[in-house]
Amino acid sequence: MNKTPIMNGTSSRLAWQRAALLAALVLLGVLMLGLVAVGAQDTARMPAGVELLAPTYGDSVELRITVTLPCGAPYMDMEYWVVRPEGENIHGSVTPLNGPTGVIVVAPITRGLGTVDVCVKGESTLRKCESGTLNTWVNGVDMGALKGGDANGDNQISGADLAILAPAYFSSTGDPDWDARADFNKDGTISGADLACMAPNYFEQGEEAPF
Ligand SMILES: [Ca+2]
Ligand SMILES: [Ca+2]
């Protein structure tokens, strides 16, 4: 007779424990679903963020102008022009461009793909122009070797340049008759090497500046 109330009490405690366990499991389930949902949301956001950071094709490109300096000169001040049918023209300088083969990097170019005209002139070279294209992220145009001997920088090689070289012949840096304008190969002396740099181009004229 005394056992029944005890059994009823135990049964009741078990029922409460089961109900509490069930409630805890339901709560845990809700929390887990929430975490999965937040994770999914973050994953969904990531590609959009990456897309926004990446430049769109054609918005910003780079032009690399390769120039071979005359007579193996190791460096030379260089001026460059980039002409485009659409978008702004570009005019700049590199002082000095390191050689004997140097690369002028023009970047970023922001608008308009297609053909470009590129001209370069070294401090003692004739101006040279070539065509290039802006079709991809990094574009190259090779100007080849520039012709040296323009001591006075007027874009032609003539008696006026020889008249600068002649009085400085056989001089070295620091000598009273030294004239850096005639040191076409930039070796610190004015010698037969500079005359040989100038001679094949005598009477030649460089291309006109595009703007
Ligand atoms: Ca000249
Ligand atoms: Ca020299």
What is the token pair recorded at 97? 């461009």
Cα of 71 from ligand 2 centre, angstroms: 9
Q: Residue 36 has which token pair?
A: 């999965």
User: Residue 189 falls within a domain, yes or no?
Assistant: yes
Which CATH number does the domain housing residue 135 bear? Answer: 2.60.40
Question: Ligand 1 centroid to 142 CA: how many Å?
Answer: 24
Rounded CA separation 168/184 (Å): 12
Spatial contact of 86 and 114, defined as CB atoms under 8 Å apart: yes
Question: Are 2 and 49 in a shared domain?
Answer: yes
In this predicted structure, what is the pLDDT of residue 68?
98
pLDDT in tens, 79-92: 999 998 777 899 99
The pLDDT value recorded for residue 205 is 98
Judge whether 141 lies within some domain.
yes
- 161 with 85: CB under 8 angstroms? no
The answer for residues whose C-beta is within 8 angstroms of residue 39's C-beta and 6 or more apart is none
Q: Are residues 67 and 135 in the same domain?
A: yes
Range of the domain at 130: 61-145
97 with 139, same domain? yes
- Please say whether the beta carbons of 100 and 85 come within 8 A: no
Report the distance separating Cα 168 and Cα 171, nearest Å: 6
Domain count, the chain: 3
CB 118 within 8 A of CB 81: yes
Integer Cα distance of 185 and 176 in angstroms: 20
The answer on 173 and 105 residing in a single domain is no
What pLDDT tens digit does each residue of the chain (211 aa) get?
444 444 455 566 767 677 776 776 666 655 555 544 444 444 444 333 333 333 445 478 899 999 999 999 999 999 999 998 777 899 999 999 999 999 999 988 876 678 999 999 999 999 999 999 888 888 999 999 999 999 999 999 999 999 999 999 999 999 999 999 999 999 999 999 999 999 999 999 999 999 9
> How close is the Cα of 123 to the center of ligand 1, in Å?
10
Whether 112 is covered by a domain: the verdict is: yes
State whether 78 and 6 are in the same domain.
Answer: no
**Residue-level pLDDT at 40:** 45
pTM for the whole structure: 0.72
In this predicted structure, what is the pLDDT of residue 8? 57
For residue 208, how far is its CA from the centre of ligand 2 (angstroms)? 27
Cβ atoms of 100 and 142 within 8 Å: the answer is no
Looking at the CA of 152, name the nearest ligand. 1
**Do the domain assignments include residue 176?**
yes
Q: Is residue 90 domain-shared with residue 112, that is, in the same domain?
A: yes
Q: What is the dihedral of CA 15, 17, 22, 24, to 10 degrees?
A: 160
